[in-house]
Every structure is written in C-alpha cells, then in structure tokens.
Amino acid sequence: MRIGIMGGTFDPIHYGHLNSADEISEIFNIDQIIFMPAFIPPHKKAEKITDIYHRLTMTVLATLSNPRFAVSTIEIERNDYSYTMDTMRELKKASGKNIKFYFIAGIDAFKEIFTWKDADRLLKSCDFIISTRPGYRIDDLSNILSNTVSKKHKNIKFKIEKKNPFCGFPGLSVIGSKYYIYPVETTLLDISSTDIRRRVAEGRTIRYLLPETVKEYIYKNKLYR
C-alpha cells in the first residue's frame, strides 16, 4: 500500500492543495493521501496562524468527498512544534512493513528543506514527491539542492537519475539510502492561502479558489476579517 503525506498549514486549504494531491495520487498510484495540518508550523513561528481547530475542520470539509483523501491529527496531538521528521518516525513506527510512504511538498516548501529539523535523516527515511508551483522551476531540483547543501550537510549526497518514470525531469536518489526525490508536474494553479486570506479581508471573491463548504465555513466563523 502506498501512502502520501501532504503536510501544510492549510490556513485555509484550497484547490492548489487538493488538485496537486489528486493528480499525484493518480500519477504515483497512491492509495491514500493523508493531509497533515501542522499544529505549530516551525517555519511560520512569527506569523499569526488561525486556530488549529478551524484549520482542521476546513481540511476535513475539503477532503470529505474524495475516498482517497484522509486527515490525520497526529501533529495536533503532539501539541508542540510540528517537525516532519517526528511525524514520519511516528507514522512508520505505527504501520506495517508493506506500507510505502511518500512525503509530498511543493517546490517552494521543499527548497527550504535544509532548514527543517533533521533534514538529512528525513531525506533518508522516505521518498519525496515535489510538485510544481507557479513562479518556481521544477527542472532544476538538483541545482536547488546542491546550492542549498551547505557545509553543515556534507553527509548527504544525491545522484541525478536521468530516467524518471513519473515526469520529464530527472529525479534524485539519496546516496546511502533506498529513497528518491521525484519532481512532478501538476497543473499549475496560482492559488495560495495568503492570497485567499487577503481577499477575504478585502471583501473580494474567493468562490472558485476553494471548495464551497470551506468558503461557507470561513464566512460563518468570520475568519480572516
């Protein structure tokens, strides 16, 4: 069984998240995508983030109708900073050997990987699927990584794998592990939670940027005003 983990703040969840998860599940033949709302996203410490119960509810509402989508509360139950390495460790510990995990991230998030806790170990603990996002290039994933592999990360090396069964651009294998980093081209949707929050604050339309139920939830609970 193949499981994709889609981490995020989901403040709020939108069609950019949902469509890339859906297309990735099709391309990689993934049985289930687990949306994992971060309780305290370590990289967004300084920003004002909406209460987790609102973010969780919106994520549940948005994913309800897709039988392949699920939502996990394990980062919420940890009640602390949400480090992906801790999450992956917990998930692997709780699941059988026949489960293969893929961590899904957009290129904008992944290019900061070396600021994540235990990045080296994380890259050697599961496959990564990296999706496109408007304004970012997916074709130079290896450049992005080699530019960001600082002196601190000498113990992690990648090999370029020209043959990538999932997309036209080369993937990378993480040397000293059995894991890969797969770039993938999904339909580019220039939607962000930041833009949605700003639109709501300005009283502008968000109707076709996220599911109707999430839009209703935002208005009903007066979020982002």
Distance of CA 168 to the CA centre of its chain: 21
Residues in contact with 112: Cβ distance below 8 Å, sequence separation at least 6, in sequence order? 43
- Residue owning tokens 């709780």: 94
Options 10, 39, 83, 169; binder of ligand ATP; rule CB under 6 A: 10
74 binds ligand ATP (CB under 6 A): no
b/e code 190-222 from CB counts within 10 Å (16+ = b): ebbbeebbeebeeeeebeebbbeebbebbeeee
8 binds ligand ATP (CB under 6 A): yes
Based on CB atoms, which residue is closest to ligand ATP, 125 or 186? 186
55 binds ligand ATP (CB under 6 A): no
CB of 96 to ligand ATP, least distance (A): 27
Token digits for 149? 């592999």
Distance in angstroms (rounded) separating the CA atoms of residues 56 and 11: 9
Based on CB atoms, which residue is closest to ligand ATP, 172 or 191? 191
Based on CB atoms, which residue is closest to ligand ATP, 125 or 192? 192
Helix axes 15-27, 52-63, angle to 10 degrees: 50
131 binds ligand ATP (CB under 6 A): yes
CB of 176 to ligand ATP, least distance (A): 25
Describe the chain by its helix, strand, coil percentages, rounded to 5.
40, 20, 45
Residues numbered 159-198 forming contacts with ligand ATP, rule: CB under 6 A: 189, 191-194
Distance in angstroms (rounded) separating the CA atoms of residues 169 and 139: 6
84 binds ligand ATP (CB under 6 A): no
109 binds ligand ATP (CB under 6 A): yes
9 binds ligand ATP (CB under 6 A): yes
108 binds ligand ATP (CB under 6 A): yes
87 binds ligand ATP (CB under 6 A): no
Residue numbers of the site for ligand ATP (CB under 6 A)? 8-11, 16-17, 20, 105-106, 108-109, 131, 133, 189, 191-194
